[in-house]
Amino acid sequence: MSMSPDTVHVAVATLNQTVGDWSGNLDRAREAIRRARELGVTFLVLPEMCLSGYSIEDRLLMRGTVKRSWAALEALQQDTVGMVVLAGLPIRHRDVLYNAVAVLANQQLHALVPKEHLANGDVHYENRWFSGWPRGVVETYRWEGGEVPLGTLLFEAEGIGPFGVEICEDGWQANRPGSDIALAGATLIANPSASWFAMHKQAIRRQLVQHVSRQDRVAYLYTSLIGCDATRLVFDGAAFIAQEGSLLAEGARFGFTDEVYLTDAVVDLASLRRQREAHGAWRQQVERQQRGERCQPQRVVIEGVFSSAGTASKPLPDDPDRSLHWLHETQRIPTAPTPDDVPFLELELALALGLHEYRKKTGVSGFCLALSGGRDSAMVAYLVRQSLHYAGETAQIADRFDTAYMATENSGDATRNAARQVSADAGATHHEVNIQAAVDQHLGIFEDMTGRTLSWENDADDLPLQNLQARLRGSMIWMLANTKGRLLLATSNKSEAAVGYTTMDGDTSGGLAPIADVPKTLVTRWLNWAGTFHGWRGAQRVSEMPATAELRPPDESQTDEDDLMPFAVLDRLMHHFVALGQEPVALFDATWPDVSAHYHNQPKAFAVDIRKFITLLCRAQWKRERFAISFRVGNFDLDPRNGFRFPPVQQPFTHELEDLDAYVASLPHKET
């Protein structure tokens, strides 16, 4: 092995993969190698599980999954002449499944590195299928074509120098395998990930990458997937290359028009070595490893020369929004976003990308949507519009998107006009119809069947009279979707899903629920922002009206918050109860300081709403079990499949709520 190089040209690729698309996944990996080679890259990192798709779930238990992933790997290695390539796939060893990364170079497989720290909890259940690899253990992986080391490894390649691998969650743990590998001499640490989008997560990733590169005095290469490989999780395509705490490159996120994105840089290895030599703390840690106090990874030499040319990349200027620059540069948005715009723009991009991916990968021709003139359906309409706009298909919106406003005698001109304006903003084909005759006919049939006439004067009839309208709308919009060959979108938001403020088979109708993980307060804030940022008049018009189901007679002036409680309160309770796991008394203590003014400093009134919220949330679990597929965008969700797993049948915190009543009664009384 010759002396370590002074520089090396590296790259990370983000790929838009699909679960089980063996040929397509392989083609995209090959395309990434081809583009990297054109740039002169000699070290390329592909994402975690990129050959099979990450969200493969119980397909992992089918023997063909590992077999086909391995076949794709053997095909991919033929493209690695003069280059070291890392590619993720599932493997089986000793009849145990592992999430692994293959190290390929010069048309050979040189080793496999398995994931140590599995991602478990929240949306992740990797230990359902995989086992984590014990630190420091190296075994021999055998297959019909040969054998390679499998385990904690330090690689050396002429022209690249020493490098190591840690996989996704490994990089987020305090006891990172990459630190031991760096102390053993690695100047490059690669982290192939499958990191899904959540609001504000990009800044956390960026801080992680910079911190690790500084702490371990390495060049840290981080990449992920982009798109939706199996729905629910949206991958935004985060990619970074950092050195000694500074970013050298950051990739664009939320790409709609390509399936392969490359981010490259020339790393100054000589500078890294000098920094290590100059710091006594580094020497002391190396001594600890030499004494056996830390893991000493086994060394693997990759034969061949992988020299690359180029001037070392300079650190990027500080710019937290760099990954979104392409939107303004390609005129996808009207103006460059400010820091205040970014959270709303990210939310829009993630949900629009999810819709785009679902339509593209399932082959549906377009979408149908029932527009009520309210906030939720308006947001969904605009997201459909943006899913086509960001993909460069704005001219096709009217042919791929139908909306319908279905009035009853309880509907008003304000919602009709708002729905009409929203549809026009979105560019959809809009339909308007009055379904009161159908409502009356159903009421007549029910009277013939039971001998009973339903009336708004009878409180017991309130719910069936409201639900009848919603279900007839669901039936009608489904008919439109069926005749058009479209996918029907449901409009339920996270807040209403929490407390069951929705009509099953009515406004929950649909195969996909784009905003099911968006709280009502955020729906309102996003609409206010979008109306200004994008210039959509319908968003402004909808936001000016109080949120209402508009299912009761107009003289009752029905509003959602009168039926429930202020959404600002409801959303706060939802976060503390679901995300933080606080029971009633702790819930009261944590939230009372922020809501006391609304309740005129009367804690008993707030306790009543806490009781209402918890009771409704428990009773509504059966509804959440039936909701359509949704996209995860927040730091917690209510999806019983991937998020909040709550029993449909239970005693709804009866004793805990009694404790709350006693606790509130003991508080000092305050006059208001």
Residues 420-433 have a mean pLDDT of 98
Mean per-residue pLDDT of the chain: 95
pLDDT of 312: 94
Closest CA to 490 of 517, 464, 463: 517
Domain annotation for the chain: domains and CATH numbers:
7-325 (3.60.110.10), 333-555 (3.40.50.620), 565-672 (no CATH)
Closest CA to 6 of 165, 250, 302, 219: 219
Q: How does pLDDT run across 47-84, given as a tens digit for each residue?
A: 999 999 999 999 999 989 999 999 999 999 999 999 99
Residues 6+ apart with CB under 8 A from 373: 405, 414, 415, 416, 417, 418, 419, 422, 542, 545, 550
Burial of 236 (0-12, 13-18, 19+ CB in 10 A): buried
pLDDT of 643: 85
pLDDT of 672: 40
Between 572 and 292, residue with greater pLDDT: 572
pLDDT of 669: 67
Residue 122 pLDDT greater than 90, yes or no = no
Residues 494-516 have a mean pLDDT of 95
Residues 87-107 have a mean pLDDT of 98
Q: For residue 3, what pLDDT band results from cuts at 50, 70 and 90? A: low
Residue 1 pLDDT greater than 80, yes or no = no
Do residues 308 and 9 touch, judged by C-beta distance below 8 A?
yes
Question: Does the pTM of the predicted model rise above 0.85?
Answer: yes
pLDDT of 231: 84
Residue 670 pLDDT greater than 70, yes or no = no
CA-CA distance, 562 to 501, in Å (whole number)? 12
Residues 449-468 have a mean pLDDT of 95
Residue 204 pLDDT greater than 60, yes or no = yes
Do residues 241 and 211 touch, judged by C-beta distance below 8 A?
no
CA-CA distance, 278 to 124, in Å (whole number)? 41
Q: For residue 671, what pLDDT band results from cuts at 50, 70 and 90? A: very low
Residue 469 pLDDT greater than 50, yes or no = yes
State residue 393 phi and psi, 5-degree precision: -120, 30
Residues 499-525 have a mean pLDDT of 95
